[in-house]
Structure 1
């Protein structure tokens, strides 16, 4: 059995995203999809004393309504990276494991340059996986041939990757044709994001849907104990 998940890349995603990565054998970044504005592709949330705050990577979208995620470029003029890091530092420097995590997160912001959003997202995703000990193979959708049809493409990508089980987020139930996977003898499983335990968190009432960096700054290497489907 080989399990595969196929998901668009997100900017510093929440813990559930990494839980899904950890639960499969191969995770395909599906950035051949159209870029969507005001979505998780280029932004995520952190906790602050004033409540939840967005961190948004500025990207070039004017006149590019049908561009793919993989083709979406980051604005060259904006000093977003250092601004994001200063914001993280300001709001998480009191966290128990800030120094430990900052040692590898800060250079991703301050010592690197990124041209495309997909590149940025993958660098951060792989860095978080490395810290958490997630050894899942991560590949890009353009490493494979892309078939026509929404569900057909997903099933075909799974087959090309040698997968016998496709693990999908529950929101895809609205559009996935389950018979397409059944015809290819691929098991279709629905990932469960409910029931995560709370962890020590700064700034008021507990919030689940913030970036995974919140979990890491607060819990360090113990972060994996708050992941439901994590496997070493």
Structure 2
């Protein structure tokens, strides 16, 4: 039973605010592994800054991976080449950023090799991003599903959500296309990483 710290879902290229909470509560952060897969969340989508504004990158999942499938059992669909689409989108969005070329070789394998399960894919991406941010901690996972957690446990499973007001990080930073659309808060951590590089952790 979890009696302190925070419970976070496992997202695809999570928003920057996710890592603010992760850094605040570590080492007592638990990744939710036993929940049923909810639709239209960051669990299989990430928002990045494109020339036209916010662009959502969605990892397609095999039909049947709906509300009654445990998140750890959801399989990725390869009916179309979404990996190529995502990687071309990331290049189009961030090729002009200060640190994209510095980090791109770390991310390339995630858009070339195939992963069967969304949870495994997201977990390996999370481990990479924590390493690049220099947030040192071991990942812990929930052992059972709890509908709610009592204080002092902080439950972020529903609060960090594309359809809820953005939980913005405290400071703005330079974004490649901000002269077109201004500063866009709460984008994927890759927006902060590609624009700020080793300074990214200071913004969290």
| Same topology, TM > 0.5 | yes
Q: TM-score, normalised by structure 2?
A: 0.84
Bigger share in helix: 1
Secondary structure of the corresponding residue to residue 137 of structure 1: coil
The answer for unaligned runs of 5 or more in structure 1 is 156-163, 173-192, 228-232
Deviation at 1:224, TM superposition (A): 1.0
Secondary structure of the corresponding residue to residue 139 of structure 2: strand
1:168-214, Cα deviation, whole Å (9 max, x unpaired): 34966xxxxxxxxxxxxxxxxxxxx4561001111131011210000
Instruction: Tell me, yes or no, if structure 1 residue 207 matches structure 2 residue 184.
Output: yes
CA distance in 2, matches of 1:22, 1:126: 13
Deviation at 1:136, TM superposition (A): 2.0
Which structure 2 residues correspond to residues 3-42 of structure 1 after superposition, within 5 A? 4-23=5-24, 24-42=26-44
- Aligned-residue CA RMSD in angstroms? 2.3
Are 2:169 and 2:186, in contact at CA under 8 Å, matched by a contact in 1?
no
Q: Of 98, 101, 105, which aligns to 1:99?
A: 101
Per the alignment, do residues 47 and 25 of structure 1 end up closer, same or farther by CA in structure 2, a change over 3 Å counting? same
CA distance in 2, matches of 1:53, 1:202: 14
Secondary structure of the corresponding residue to residue 36 of structure 1: coil
Q: Where do 4+ consecutive residues of structure 1 move more than 6 Å?
A: none
Which structure 2 residues correspond to residues 169-180 of structure 1 after superposition, within 5 A? 169=156
Q: Of 130, 143, 147, which aligns to 1:150?
A: 147
Q: How many residues align?
A: 191
CA distance in 1, matches of 2:203, 2:66: 39
Deviation at 1:8, TM superposition (A): 1.3
Deviation at 1:167, TM superposition (A): 3.2
Structure number, greater radius of gyration = 1
CA distance in 1, matches of 2:170, 2:189: 13
1:98-121, Cα deviation, whole Å (9 max, x unpaired): 1111121122222x3211111111
